Structure 1
């Protein structure tokens, strides 16, 4: 797992995908954290409470992060970052393909994939944030939920 390369690319956009029962959705993320927690590799994703993806994560057991390294999916990242899965079928925008271990799919055409089992979630306590962070990122006080996903599989588009 090349953490440095992943984190340098995620700021350009990645797809967070989740399956809950029969529903599947993906959204664009530009924030995320990777590291070791509880002696295992973790990918932490942040999702605002009003997002449709948050509803699916609440009822799901896993998620995937699909990261394009180039600009080949910029249009799709733009749409998935601005349109809700409640309003459009994201499978008309991206091609979902089965993952190796999780129920949640990955996005075809990306360069790196992380499959994660949800192990913990927590709503951020925004009242503890510095004022400049609150005013710049949370004027509506819609603090993110943090989903801690144990990375159970990681591979590049060539399967390695």
Structure 2
């Protein structure tokens, strides 16, 4: 069985269709979670997820089509920052709709997808052994700690009390 998105697909009609399908399913489930868990309007959440999905799709396309060896997360971040920059005409509507999407709703759907993926390759995961679990925990903890340190420094430099 072929994965919907395995990271090796070229930019083709089939590959783009798979990304759109995955992002649409992801967006609908996240919007439902926003509505149930946070009482955000379903239409605003869907529009917000549509914006995030479009930015993601463009970033993935740029990673695969541009001749630079740059990760799609960099492209996605830069596109989002530029579109949300206060002097951009896209800033106000983008911030309104994207603010209707709660991070925990996105993370919940993403972790469910990862869990399904892990279930499909459980034998491969078991072959990695206990060392992989320790490394995974250390990577997640280090990422969290690093993010907290950077956030604290930025908040301190901007005068926000910590």
TM class by shorter chain equals under 0.3
Higher-Rg member (1/2): 2
Task: Compare the two structures and name the one with the higher strand fraction.
Answer: 1
Structure number with greater CO (CA < 8 Å, separation at least 6) is: 1
Task: Compare the two structures and name the one with the higher helix fraction.
Answer: 2
Q: Taking structure 1 as the reference length, what is the TM-score of the superposition?
A: 0.27
